[in-house]
Amino acid sequence: MDKGKITAHIDELRAPILKKLEASEEKTIRRLMQGQEFDIRQLYHPDGGIKKPHELDDDTARAIVGVRYDKVGNILEYKITDVKGCSELLGKHLKLFTDKVEQSGGIEVAFTRRIIRG
């Protein structure tokens, strides 16, 4: 099987899974952008008090990955998504920075044989 056929077969197998999960490139990029654009000010009321989970807007709520409470149930802290990680993944997807240089086309290399006579 050549590389093109293998890739096509993998895509064919992945399609129903992605459809079932409602996963798409657009949705993934949107989530990365939400994480990257997270604004910590949205966690607080104007008076400085911390908002409860039901008071958060949808984008802010999606950026929350955990909540820590005290013994009586007051929120001590929100754990938020990794903003740097979201930025790195988004940058890699957009090919803003690369670890290697990709080259298309062929490279011709000429070899010469040197005979040394002693």
Q: How many domains does the chain have?
A: 1
- Please compute the mean of the pLDDT values over residues 52-80 and round it to a whole number: 91
pLDDT for 109: 65
**Cα–Cα dist 91/85, whole Å:** 10
Residue 52 in any domain: the answer is: yes
87 lies in a domain?
yes
Q: What is the pLDDT of residue 107?
A: 66
What pLDDT does residue 115 have?
65
Measure the CA–CA gap between 9 and 54, rounded to whole angstroms: 44
Whether 20 maps to a domain, the answer reads: yes
Whether 118 maps to a domain, the answer reads: no
Q: Show the domain range for 43.
A: 3-93
Q: How far is CA 62 from the centre of its chain?
A: 14
The CA–CA distances, whole Å, from 53 to 35, 56, 59 equal: 17, 6, 12
Let me know if residue 68 belongs to a domain. yes
The chain-wide mean pLDDT, for the chain, equals 82
Binned at pLDDT 50, 70 and 90, residue 106 comes out as: low
Q: How confident is the model at residue 113 (pLDDT cuts 50, 70, 90)?
A: low
Nearest C-alpha neighbor of 52 from the set 68, 75, 84: 75
Q: In which band, very low, low, confident or very high, does the pLDDT at 100 lie, cut at 50, 70 and 90?
A: low
